[in-house]
Amino acid sequence: MTQNIYDDAGFFAGYSQLRRSVDGLGGAPEWPTLQSMLPALTGKGVVDLGCGFGWFCRWARDAGAASVLGLDVSANMLARARETASDAAIAYRQADLETLDLPAASFDLAYSSLTLHYLEKLAELFATVHRALVPDGRFVFSAEHPLYTEPGPDYLDEGPRTSDWLAKGVVKQHRTLATYLNLLIDAGFTVRRVEEWGPTRAEIAAHPEWKIDHRRPSFLLVSAAR
Amino acid sequence: MTQNIYDDAGFFAGYSQLRRSVDGLGGAPEWPTLQSMLPALTGKGVVDLGCGFGWFCRWARDAGAASVLGLDVSANMLARARETASDAAIAYRQADLETLDLPAASFDLAYSSLTLHYLEKLAELFATVHRALVPDGRFVFSAEHPLYTEPGPDYLDEGPRTSDWLAKGVVKQHRTLATYLNLLIDAGFTVRRVEEWGPTRAEIAAHPEWKIDHRRPSFLLVSAAR
């Protein structure tokens, strides 16, 4: 089973301090790009794979979604999501995305933010998501960009990478960009948009605290259609 | 207009010595992967964008293609292609791929090997290729991988890169992988396969003369359907 680092007390405390945890979607620099890749949500059914504190679930409701299912492996995250706001049309459920079961043809949008790079078994999840979407439903996700997970000379060597981000021994799964796309295609998806997100030079100049001196992408954003 | 470096005498002399120039497809380490992405060619019409010495044109005929059109900007390359073998079903034509005109719905396969990274105007070419293919026709190409053209910290900064490969001042156009894919999608193509090709560790060990100590990809290979 995939490491559940979000229920590590030290990691959770650190994660809770991140700007994207405090400010939500507006604190995530890649959000405007990811948002531009989303379909209209009015009256739609949405599932969020790795919903964390529920920022996107609440945003989707504000954007008109009829119902939202937020899934996360972390009890800590779900508890925080549930206590932040009450909305009968948002259901939060603890789930291991590697053994997930979803009803067929039940969602118009599957969304996932910065979760998939933790999973070992992605092909199985993509098949589950494909089956759970209605025809022409959309799967929009972000993941850590492969060049962020593996900035060194071993880009083509896929597999686990261990880093000390917020806690010691955080395990992420390095996959090439081609592998992400081929897994989608093999699951039956049509790739509609691929974005390799990194801050612009102007953003880097405006945020010296980021201490970024390169233009390698941080995040991979993908939109696919069933 | 794109630089026509292949008609530079020094570059052409150097290029002619490369293993892929002497041995043809069998001398190109990425060829087995690229070949696996091709459709069946029996009785089909093929256009080769940047045909060089015509190795692929002749291979396509051997694989059963009914007719092959080989296009290249280089008079040197085409002269060599024409003198290598005579086949009435292969036509070689000098063409600038940035201002290319092709008849509509005329080809089953458009192929291009290691040519597109020289072109400034790729969107226009992709539109031309899309129009020139029959419905469900295929576009299979290789290009220098963005991480090869730009291995440094400026991956997201697209534009020309000048290198001294075989001649001084060879200009290549750096594009991110996302840009290649989005240009295809915008032109109406469905992406069917993406490969980021680099030698395996066993191949690196077997070829110390390559002096490669990394596993970053050299070539981007893509299969798309009209």
Residue with tokens 């020289």: B118
At residue A1, the pLDDT reads 60
The dihedral sign for the CA sequence B177, B178, B181, B184: negative
Sheet (strand B190-197) strand order: B90-94, B67-72, B45-49, B107-113, B133-144, B219-225, B190-197
* Per-residue confidence (pLDDT) for residue B216, from 0 to 100: 93
> For B224, phi and psi rounded to 5 degrees?
-135, 150
Q: How far apart are the first and last CA of chain A?
A: 27
pLDDT value of position B147: 96
CB contact under 8 A, B190 and A194: no
**pLDDT values of chain B reduced to their tens digit, one per residue, 226 residues:** 678 898 999 999 999 999 999 999 999 999 999 999 999 999 999 999 999 999 999 999 999 999 999 999 999 999 999 999 889 999 999 999 999 999 999 999 999 999 999 999 999 999 999 999 999 999 999 999 999 999 888 999 999 999 998 999 999 999 999 999 999 999 999 999 999 999 999 989 998 988 888 899 999 999 999 9
Residues A27, A47 contacting (CB under 8 angstroms): no
Residue B194 corresponds to which amino acid?
A: V
Whether residue B216 and residue A155 make contact (CB cut-off 8 A), yes or no, is yes
What's the structural domain count of chain B? 1
Interface residues from chain B to A (CB-CB < 8 Å): 147, 153-157, 176-178, 181-182, 185, 190-196, 198, 213-217
Tell me whether residue B43 is exposed, middle or buried, using C-beta atoms within 10 angstroms of its C-beta: 0 to 12, 13 to 18, 19 or more: exposed
Distance between B215 CA and the closest CA of chain A, angstroms: 5
Q: Which positions in chain A touch B225 (Cβ < 8 Å)?
A: none
**Which residues of chain A lie closer than 8 angstroms to B222, CB-CB?**
none
Please state the pTM of the whole predicted model. Answer: 0.96
CA distance A28 to chain B (A): 19
Inter-chain touch B215–A157, beta carbons under 8 Å: yes
The CATH number that applies at residue A165 is 3.40.50.150
Bridge partners (DSSP) listed for residue B195 = B221
Residue to substitute from B36, B149, B155, interface A, most A β-carbons within 10 A: B155
Q: Could B196 and A215 be called an inter-chain contact, meaning their C-beta atoms sit closer than 8 Å?
A: no
Residue pLDDT tens, chain A, 226 long: 678 898 999 999 999 999 999 999 999 999 999 999 999 999 999 999 999 999 999 999 999 999 999 999 999 999 999 999 889 999 999 999 999 999 999 999 999 999 999 999 999 999 999 999 999 999 999 999 999 999 888 999 999 999 998 999 999 999 999 999 999 999 999 999 999 999 999 989 998 988 888 899 999 999 999 9
Q: Which of B156, B193, B204 to mutate to probe the A interface, most A CBs <10 Å?
A: B156
Domain that holds residue B131: 5-225
